[in-house]
Structure 1
Amino acid sequence: MKAIAVLTTLLCVVLLVAWPCEAITCEQVSGALLPCVSYLTGQRGSPTTECCGGVRNLRNMIPTQQDRRTACNCVKSAASRYPNLKPDAASNLPARCGVPKIPITPNTNCNTYSFLLFFFS
């Protein structure tokens, strides 16, 4: 179990490196939010330190409008693979990690102005 946690952490660190002038990828978004799955599915009562670190890193990796739209679509796509996601946990995740603004839900329109506020204060 410890080995899996260490490998997951290392994978997340590698995936969180955003090279300058490169668009964000769904792999980077997924890697940043992977530690949050147990919280988002109700297996944990609070997001872990690793989860919140991923949320903050993701916020820093999406400086442009196009990056934010891409990340939004990636999150929506990933969320569809977890039918047991808790809407309240997803809504509260940014604030629980100290990144208050609009969370992404399965119904979020990633092309609207409201998404520009995602993860930004």
Structure 2
Amino acid sequence: MAVTKVALVASMMACMLLTCSYSKSTLTCDQITIWLTPCIAYAVLGGNVSSLCCQGIYSLNAAYKSGDDRRGACQCIKDRAAYIPGIDYDRVNQIPGKCGTKCPFKLYPSTNCSAVK
């Protein structure tokens, strides 16, 4: 069952790779999605955060060049996460710490991404 759920979630994320443009961000939503797709299994099922997930978090953090980048990433992740069945936002917010880094915002359905600095 768990493998089927992960396959379903991965398929859904692949289908959601649409071109996104957020504000003046230099990051694309497609790139952010690619980096963070390996984190979905942990966000839905728990267990261990994969090394690929952590690599994606590191890549995203390294790519932030401005507040617009952080706000755009926040909105992209928030929009995409809304379509993932069974996502646990508390787990999502634990991922950076489990990878030994930080995130410039907490992600919940109610997060106001335009307020991210």
Q: TM tier, shorter chain?
A: 0.7 to 0.9
> Which has the higher mean CA deviation after the structures are superposed, 78-87 or 94-103?
94-103
Equivalent residue for 2:76, pick from 74, 77, 84: 74
Alignment of 1:1-121 (within 5 A): 23-42=26-45, 44-101=46-103, 102-112=105-115, 115-116=116-117
Q: What percentage of residue pairs aligned between the two structures are identical?
A: 32
Any unmatched runs of 5+ in structure 2? 1-24
Distance 2:86 2:79 in 1: 14
Structure with the larger RCO, 1 or 2 (CA within 8 Å, 6+ apart): 2
TM-score (norm 1): 0.70
Q: Alpha-carbon deviation of 1:103? A: 2.8
Report the 3-state secondary structure (helix = DSSP H, G, I; strand = E; otherwise coil) of the residue aligned with 1:111.
helix
What is the one-letter code of the residue matched to 1:25?
T
Question: Shift of residue 45 of structure 1?
Answer: 0.5
1:8-45 Cα deviation digits (max 9, x unpaired): xxxxxxxxxxxxxx711100110110000100101x41
Q: Is the CA contact (8 Å cut-off) linking 1:93 and 1:103 kept in structure 2?
A: no
- Is contact 1:32-1:51 (8 Å) kept? yes
Q: Distance in 1 between matches of 2:86 and 2:74?
A: 19
User: TM-score, normalised on structure 2?
Assistant: 0.72
Aligned length: 92
Moved over 4 A (4+): none
Instruction: Return 5+ residue gaps in structure 1 as ranges.
Output: 1-21, 117-121
Deviation track 1:54-75 (CA, whole Å, cap 9, x = no partner) reads 0010011112111111101000
| Matched residue, 2:19 | none
**Counterpart residue type for residue 107 of structure 2:** I
Task: State the alpha-carbon separation in 2 of the partners of residues 28 and 45 from structure 1.
Answer: 25
Q: Tell me, yes or no, if the aligned pair for 1:69 and 1:111 is still in contact at 8 Å.
A: yes
